[in-house]
Homo-oligomer: A and B are copies of this chain.
Amino acid sequence: MTLQKTRAQNYPEWYQNVIQASEMAELSSSPGCMVIKPWGYGIWERIQRLLDEKIKETGHDNCYFPMFIPLSFFKKEAEHVEGFAKEMAVVTHSRLIQQDGELVPDGKLEEPLIVRPTSETIIADSFSKWVKSYRDLPVMINQWANVVRWEMRPRIFLRTREFLWQEGHTAHASMEEAEKEAKTMLDVYINLAQNCLAIPVIPGKKPPHEKFAGAINTYTFEPMMQDGRALQAGTSHNLGQNFAKSANIQFQNSKGELEYAYTSSWGVSTRLIGGVIMSHADDEGMVVPPVIAPQQVIIIPLYKDKDKIDLVNEYAEKLRKAISLQTAFGEKVRVRLDNRGKESVDKMWEWTRKGAPIVIEVGPKDIEKNSVMFRTRTKIETNEWKAFAPFDEFVQSVGGRLEAIQKELFDKAKKRLDSNIRTDIRTPEEFEAYFANQNVYLGRTDVPTVAFVRGKWSGDEETLEKMKEMKITIRCCPFDQSGTTGKCLLTGKDATLDVIYARAY
């Protein structure tokens, strides 16, 4: 019933096992691309709905821009094309023809088209038509779309050639406004990660060499996975006037002068689902935080006693109805009565592997006692996994139980994050010794584990080379800077900037 590999045995294989066992997604016959299956897509739909609400509340409208970007658009922003040129899908033909019994591309395009890796260039082109005066600003839009980056080593949800995301793009009349926007949207993402995905994060600014190609400032929120790696989960950029200059987004300011606009962009993707897996899943499969669970409670009727099928169905339906009227997180509880024609024990394990927060089995005994037998997914390794409650008591408590599960997941992840940030490493030697170890499941006690180090960084050119050798990166310069002076962990030189060092997905 369990996964082929545990986290301790082989963390990367365990990750693939969870995805397969929970039927969230699979690799497709289309090379490097994934198929997102109903349970995985259901999680994405929940994330979409919750985030979309916040995007609209903060004043943005949804739009849709073309996914084909003329190649020439990429020539305009040198730094930007530099960042993406190596992984672009290029459309060069517009039809297929039969030639010597083979289907071959035909209708060569005058100008090749790039399938968007991100949409700054094409959206800036529209903004340049929309913005003439300061009265037209700000422009604040978002789109939900697919994007393509030609990954060579695909991993489901983490790195596939095509993935789904939202990308927000705004234009403002001043640098201050663009900066404020980038930070506002970072806050929206932090709220999503912590309160919806139950993933605690370290918010901060990317160091210059890790900024988005073409940005002035890139802000990030860095979560810690169960193997001590960070996950690049989403970013928010103040693009200053860079894209406005290359796309000619000019406006007449209130003094009547022509000025380039200040733009921002920000995005999160289906990669977040990979983050949820690596934050909460266990050796039995997926564990979905209730806020983003497509179904929060599953009811499985037990049909062993053929005489009592109708009674069991009736009781199960009564329970479903009662639960569906309850509230958790300010929304109606999402409950499903699973009456598919499969063995009930198979269904129970299926929903366990999928990580449904609460799974109820209803049989004749429960009807006799007017009670509910339920399993709480997060308690699978304890003797509280299976529990009983009187019908009314269970129904009234179900919202609170779901909220408690959400809190439990966050607290557990927060404890892992807090207890795995080393702040006591003082010298380049200690630092190197620490990262000489590999990232393994943090629950292991048989080998040294590696996670985050918080320490000083001098910012020298030579540090970049050294980090490459050590296969580590600076995840961010946390907002809560200490202001102290110490020694750079890479060079030993005096430095004041606090950074988070880690390996990352």
Q: What is A's interface to B at a CB cutoff of 8 Å?
A: 26, 28-31, 33-38, 41-42, 44-45, 61-71, 73-75, 81, 85-97, 103, 105, 107, 112-115, 122, 125-126, 129, 135, 141, 145-146, 150, 161-162, 164, 341-342
Contacts and interface: CB of A to CB of B under 8 A. Distances in A.
Q: Which of A65, A70, A125 has the most CB of B within 10 A?
A: A65
Contact of A92 (B41, B68, B93, B342): B93
Contact of A38 (B62, B65, B75, B146): B62
Contact of A30 (B35, B70, B96, B146): B70
A96 B81 contact: yes
Nearest to A45: B62
A358 to B, nearest CB: 21
Contact of A67 (B45, B62, B73, B146): B146
A28 B97 CA distance: 28
Nearest to A151: B94
B66 A35 contact: yes
A126 B94 contact: no
A70 B105 CA distance: 12
A91 B94 contact: no
Contacts of A88: 94-96
A63 B90 contact: no
A61 B33 contact: no
Contacts of A105: 71, 90, 92, 112
Contacts of A342: 135
Q: Which 9 A-B residue pairs are closest in the complex by CB-CB distance?
A: A33-B66, A38-B61, A30-B66, A90-B93, A36-B64, A85-B96, A90-B105, A94-B150, A92-B92
B74 A35 contact: no
14 contacts: A29-B70, A29-B122, A35-B64, A35-B65, A41-B62, A42-B62, A64-B164, A66-B162, A68-B161, A81-B96, A81-B103, A89-B93, A90-B93, A90-B105
A162 B67 contact: yes
Q: Give the number of copies in the complex.
A: 2
A461 B95 CA distance: 28
Given A90-B92, A91-B91, A103 B75 contact: yes
Contacts of A164: 64
A365 B169 CA distance: 41
Contact of A162 (B35, B68, B125): B68
A28 B94 contact: no
Contacts of A96: 71, 74, 81, 85, 88, 90, 114
Given A71-B96, A86-B95, A125 B29 contact: yes
Contacts of A37: 63
B28 A65 contact: yes
Contacts of A91: 89-92, 115
Nearest to A96: B85
A85 B95 contact: yes
Contact of A141 (B38, B90, B113, B341): B38
- Of listed A95, A129, A141, A342, residue having the most chain B CB within 10 A: A95
Given A35-B65, A37-B63, 19 more contacts: A28-B65, A28-B122, A29-B70, A29-B122, A30-B66, A33-B68, A34-B66, A35-B63, A41-B62, A44-B64, A45-B62, A71-B105, A85-B103, A87-B94, A88-B95, A89-B93, A90-B95, A91-B91, A94-B150
